[in-house]
Structure 1
Amino acid sequence: MGQNPEITARGWSSADAVQELPHGVVTYARSYPDGYISAWHDHPRHQLVYAVAGLMTAEAGGTSWAVPAGSGLIVPAGVLHEIRMAGEVQLQSLYIDPAEAGADAMAECRAVLVEPLLAGLIAALCGMNNPWPLPPRAHHLSRLILIELGAAPESPLSLPYPGDARLRRVCDALMDSPGSMRTIDHWAALAGMSRRSFTRRFQQETGLSLGAWRDRLRCQIALRAKARGARMEQVAQRLGYASRQSLLAMMQRVV
C-alpha cells in the first residue's frame, strides 16, 4: 500500500506562539495528516504530546518512541526531538513552564500511558483554550494534571539506542532487517565481542536484552504499518512471524 508524501513542518506555528503566554500550563490541540514531520526542534517549556487518536513516532533523548492513541511523550525543555505521524493523528499538547510547581515530573524524557482521569483533565483544559486572566477552574485543572503526570505509568514502547558504536552496528543491522532470525552468537560476532560480553554490555546500555529490544523494534514497525492500513499478514511475514496471530501475540505481550 502506498504512503502519503511526507510533509515537513516549516517556520513558526501557533504551537510556538502559545508558549509565549503567561500561563504556567498552556494547551495546543490539532490534527495532522499521515506523513507529517515535525522536524528536529526544541521548546523553552516542558512538553507533553498526547496522542488522542492515531500513532506518532518520535526520536528524543537518544531513544526511539512509538506513541499510540492513549499514550503521550514527555519531552523536557531544551531537548531536541522529532515527531512523525503514521496515519491521521489527533494530538493534544501541554507546554509547562519549568518553574511551575510540580513541573519536576516533566524533567525526564519518557512515554506514559494517559489513563482516563488524566485524559479527561487534559481534554477539559484544552477545551478552555488558554483563558486569561486564569480562572480558578483552569488553575485547578493544571494542578491536577501535573499531579497525575507524576503518577502516570510508563509506556513499554521505548527503544533505547546504545552509545557503544559496536552495539549500534548491531541495532542498525536489525533495523535494516527486522525479520532476521540470526542468533545472539551472530550479533556478538558482528559487534566483535564474546557472547557473554555482548549480552552484558547490551543490557547495561539499553536496559533490555537483545530479544526484548528486537521485540520492541518489531512492535513499533507493526504499529506504524497498522496505522497506515497495511495487511497484518504481510507485516508478520516481513517481521519473521509464521502468522498474523503470532505477531499479534508478541505485540500483546510487549504492550
Structure 2
Amino acid sequence: MAAPVTSPPALCSSVRALHRIDDGHDSEPHIHSYGQLVHILSGVLHGESHDRRWLLQAGTAIWIPPDVIHSGHAAGQICSQVIYLYAPNWLARLPTTATLIRVSPLLHELLARAVTLTEHSPLTDAGYRLIDVLVDEIVIAPHDTMVLDMPRDARLKRICNTLVTNPADVRTLHDWANQVGATERTLRRYFLRETGLSWLQWRQRLQLRLALIWLAEGLPIHQIAERLGYDSNQGFSHWFKRHTSLTPIQYRQCNLSDLI
C-alpha cells in the first residue's frame, strides 16, 4: 500500500507556526509534495525514512524533501517549529534526502522570525529575503550524528534487526559471523561500507538512541539499564555520561526544564 500524501498548508507560504505535540504523538508513514523542516525546541522526536532512523532533540532539525516517505514518533511531550517549503527555487538548493542538522544561533533566530509570518497572507519582499537566508543556513548547517543507517546486506539486516528488537543481545560480531555464514572480516567491511560506522559504533549509537528515547518517555533508569544489558544503574550511567557529558538524571532534568 502506498504511503498517504499529506496536503500542504492552505496558503502558498513557507511557514507554519510554532506548535506543541502531546505525549505519544505518532505520524504513520506518509509523504509530502513539499519540503519540510522540523526544528525541535524541547523534547525528543524520533522517526524513519527509507533505511535511515533518526532522532531529534533540542537544538537539532531535520530537512525532509518532497516525496520522501517518513514517519515520526514523539517520545513524551515535544515543542517544535515546522517550516514548509515548496517554491522550486528554494527546493532546488536543499538536499534531496532526509538530512539531520545542528541548528546554529543564527538559524535559530531565523526560524523564530519565520514562524511569526502569517499563514494567511502572501509573503512580503522582506519575508522572501528572510526565507532565502534561512535556506542558505540550512544548506551550510553541520550534520547531526544521531542518524542510524540500516544496512542493505541481508546478513547485516538480520543482525541489526535483532539488536533493534533486543539491544541487550551480547553476541559479538565473531558469534554473528558463525550464525549468518560470513567471516568476521567480511561483516566488518560491509558494516563500514553500508552504514558509515564500525560494528561497535553502530551498536553504541543504537543503544544511545534508545536510551534517549526511553528517558524522554519517562522509563525508570534501572529499567533502561536492564533493556540495554547493563547489570547496574551505575554502569549504565557511566556509559551514558561518556557519550553525552550528562548523567541520565541530569539529561532527564534538562529535558523537563525545557518544557516548563
**Normalised by the shorter chain, which TM-score bucket?**
0.7 to 0.9
Distance in 2 of aligned mates of 1:160 and 1:140: 35
Q: Report the equivalent of 1:16.
A: 7
Contact 1:46 / 1:107 at 8 angstroms: preserved in 2? no
Distance in 2 of aligned mates of 1:181 and 1:54: 30
1:1-255 equivalence runs, <5 A: 16-18=7-9, 20-23=10-13, 25-97=14-86, 99-101=88-90, 103-130=92-119, 132-241=121-230, 242=232, 243-252=235-244
Distance in 2 of aligned mates of 1:65 and 1:48: 14
- The 1:59–1:165 alpha-carbon spacing in structure 2 relative to 1, beyond 3 Å, is same
Superposed CA RMSD: 2.1
Shift in Å, 1:244: 3.6
> Structure 1: which 5+ runs fail to align?
1-10
Shift in Å, 1:16: 3.2
> Structure 2: which 5+ runs fail to align?
246-260
Letter in 1 for 2:7: D
SS of the aligned residue for 2:115 comes to helix
Shift in Å, 1:101: 3.8
User: TM (normalized to structure 2)?
Assistant: 0.85
Letter in 1 for 2:95: M
Q: Report the equivalent of 1:7.
A: none
Letter in 1 for 2:237: Q
Shift in Å, 1:237: 3.3
Shift in Å, 1:27: 2.4
Contact 1:191 / 1:198 at 8 angstroms: preserved in 2? no
Distance in 2 of aligned mates of 1:248 and 1:222: 8
Alpha-carbon displacement from aligned partner over 1:89-139 (angstroms, at most 9, x marks no partner): 112111112512464223221111112211111111101223533223312
SS of the aligned residue for 2:197 comes to coil
Q: How many residues are treated as equivalent by the alignment?
A: 239
Letter in 1 for 2:107: L
Runs of 4+ in 1 over 6 A off after TM superposition: none
SS of the aligned residue for 2:40 comes to strand
Letter in 2 for 1:204: R
Shift in Å, 1:50: 1.2
Distance in 1 of aligned mates of 2:61 and 2:162: 28
Contact 1:236 / 1:247 at 8 angstroms: preserved in 2? no
Distance in 2 of aligned mates of 1:75 and 1:244: 33
Contact 1:31 / 1:90 at 8 angstroms: preserved in 2? yes
Q: Report the equivalent of 2:258.
A: none
Distance in 1 of aligned mates of 2:82 and 2:90: 19
Contact 1:96 / 1:103 at 8 angstroms: preserved in 2? no
SS of the aligned residue for 1:100 comes to helix
